[in-house]
Amino acid sequence: MHSQTSLSVAAAANLKIPMTELESAFNSEHPDIKLTINYGSSGKLTAQILEGAPFDIFLAADTLFPQKIFDAQAGVGEPVIYASGKVVLFTVIKNSISKGLVALKDKKIKTISIANPDTAPYGRAALNVIKKYGIYEDVEKKLVFAESISQVVQQAVTASDVGFIAKSSLFAVDLQKYNVEKTYWIDIDTSLYEPIDQAMIIIKNAKEPEAAGVFYDFILSVKAAEIFRKYGYDVK
């Protein structure tokens, strides 16, 4: 039996949902490569990579963090955009945000969860939305910061009144019952935040550079693009 190559992937937290399907599509094409996926905020993963963590490839939630790796000469080739993510405002409190972002000023909404804007690109986008919409001063005291987009989802389901999450998170099995637009979530006008172009880079010290190249090509394939679109991403 042919031995499997183990590929270590660092992936931004927003990729958790599409990655299940991406992984099985990749496995059926490349049964000889086994993916080991580590999720986290892009900033935290970047810090780990720059400290020499043994990752082969990094799929980030923006272009800035992979660029940082490239600039530090820790990556192979310039970062390449594989998909663009979207931010939505989410709640489990029925109809509490149907009026739109203005609802965040409502006294009934006491806590707004966002990912740490310094380490999580989706958190940075959420903060931009709040500032550009002109309600930052009204809601500043309500903001609760989470480490990653996955934690924002957990907080929004359990502790916070609302959360700014990745659109892809709506496809999680435990959020299916809340995937009802206007009732539990609203799209956010993309003019309020910079596009969340998500880029990837192969790590210079990759133990499996060849397998990393195979996975890199797969992520840019038509098949992967189909999967990304299915989970609310844009792919050019």
CATH code for the domain of 224: 3.40.190.10
Q: Give the residue-averaged pLDDT of 106-133.
A: 97
Whole-angstrom distance, CA of residue 79 vs CA of residue 61: 12
Does 1 have pLDDT greater than 50? no
235 in a structural domain: no
Res. 159: pLDDT tops 70: yes
Q: Is residue 21 within 8 Å of residue 227, measured between CB atoms?
A: yes
Q: Are residues 74 and 99 in the same domain?
A: no
Q: How many alpha carbons fall within 13 Å on the CB side of residue 192?
A: 21
Q: In what order do the strands lie in the sheet with 185-187?
A: 143-146, 112-115, 162-166, 87-91, 185-187
Residues 99, 129 share a domain: yes
The DSSP output letter for 4 is: P
Which of 79, 85, 64, 81 lies closest to 17, judged by CA?
Answer: 85
Q: For position 2, what pLDDT does the model report?
A: 62
Q: Does residue 153 lie in a domain region?
A: yes
Domain assignment of residue 160, yes or no: yes
The verdict on residue 37 lying in a domain is yes
Look at residue 218 and tell me if it is in a domain.
Answer: yes
**Same domain as 65, residue 94:** no
Q: Which residues form the domain of 113?
A: 87-187
The order of strands in the sheet holding 196-203 is 33-40, 5-12, 57-59, 196-203, 75-85
Instruction: Tell me, yes or no, whether 108 and 143 share the same domain.
Output: yes
pLDDT at 3: 80
pTM of the model: 0.92
The answer to whether residue 223 is domain-embedded is yes
- Is the residue at 25 inside a domain? yes
In-domain check, residue 236: no
Question: Domain count of the chain?
Answer: 2
